[in-house]
């Protein structure tokens, strides 16, 4: 299940910090070197963290020449929250009110879950 992969990726403190830095750097993103410098991690270690975050769908990358820029994918975290609120806590008004389907991301798009088995409608 995708939710487990997302939670597992964010459960490691350095990866959570990397995601936080990338989320704050949106929409421009950061290079692996910039991230390594800000966090104080060797570049080789940063590469491993970025690979795990990328596989979980938490970050994306673009390549321009020899430069790679990573960007946070906030939809993955939002989808995790929706999965936990809607699919795990369905019927619990304390958790699901306001309704998860009414949540909007920072860009104003309507929320749709891709983590659970069925999209929220």
pLDDT of residue 49: 96
In this structure, the answer to whether residues 67 and 83 fall within a common structural domain is no
- pLDDT exceeds 70 at position 68: yes
In this structure, the answer to whether residues 10 and 59 fall within a common structural domain is yes
Contacts 24+ apart (CB under 8 A), 15-18: 15/49, 15/52, 15/53, 18/46, 18/49, 18/50, 18/53, 18/59
In this structure, the answer to whether residues 65 and 80 fall within a common structural domain is no
Q: Of 43, 46, 55, 37, nearest to 14 (Cα)?
A: 46
- pLDDT exceeds 90 at position 67: yes
In this structure, the answer to whether residues 12 and 46 fall within a common structural domain is yes
The two most distant CA atoms of the chain are separated, in Å, by 51
What is the C-alpha radius of gyration for the chain, rounded to an integer number of angstroms?
16
In this structure, the answer to whether residues 13 and 67 fall within a common structural domain is yes
pLDDT of residue 88: 65
pLDDT of residue 84: 78
In this structure, the answer to whether residues 9 and 51 fall within a common structural domain is yes
What domain range includes position 82?
73-121
The CA angle 106-110-116, to the nearest 5 degrees, is 105
Task: Centre a 10 Å sphere on the Cβ of residue 102 and count the other Cβ atoms it contains.
Answer: 9
Q: Of 73, 66, 83, nearest to 106 (Cα)?
A: 73
Our CA dihedral for 45, 46, 51, 56, rounded to 10 degrees, sits at: 110
Q: Are 6 and 19 in contact (CB under 8 A)?
A: no
Higher per-residue confidence, 96 vs 3: 3
pLDDT of residue 56: 95
Report the domain count for the chain.
2
Per-residue pLDDT reduced to its tens digit, 13-56:
999 999 999 999 999 999 999 999 999 999 889 999 999 999 99
In this structure, the answer to whether residues 27 and 67 fall within a common structural domain is yes
Final residue of a domain: which of 41, 56, 72?
72
């Amino acid at each position: 299940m995708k939710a487990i992969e997302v939670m597992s990726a964010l459960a490691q403190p350095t990866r959570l910090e990397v995601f936080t830095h990338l989320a704050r750097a949106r929409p421009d993103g950061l290079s692996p070197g910039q991230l390594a410098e800000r966090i104080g991690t060797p570049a080789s270690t940063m590469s491993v963290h970025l690979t795990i975050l990328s596989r979980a769908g938490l970050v994306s990358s673009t390549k321009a020449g020899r430069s790679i820029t990573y960007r946070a994918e906030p939809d993955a975290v939002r989808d995790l929250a929706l999965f936990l609120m809607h699919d795990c806590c369905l019927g619990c008004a304390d958790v699901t009110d306001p309704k998860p389907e009414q949540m909007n991301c920072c860009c104003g798009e309507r929320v749709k879950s891709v983590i659970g088995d069925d999209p929220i409608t």
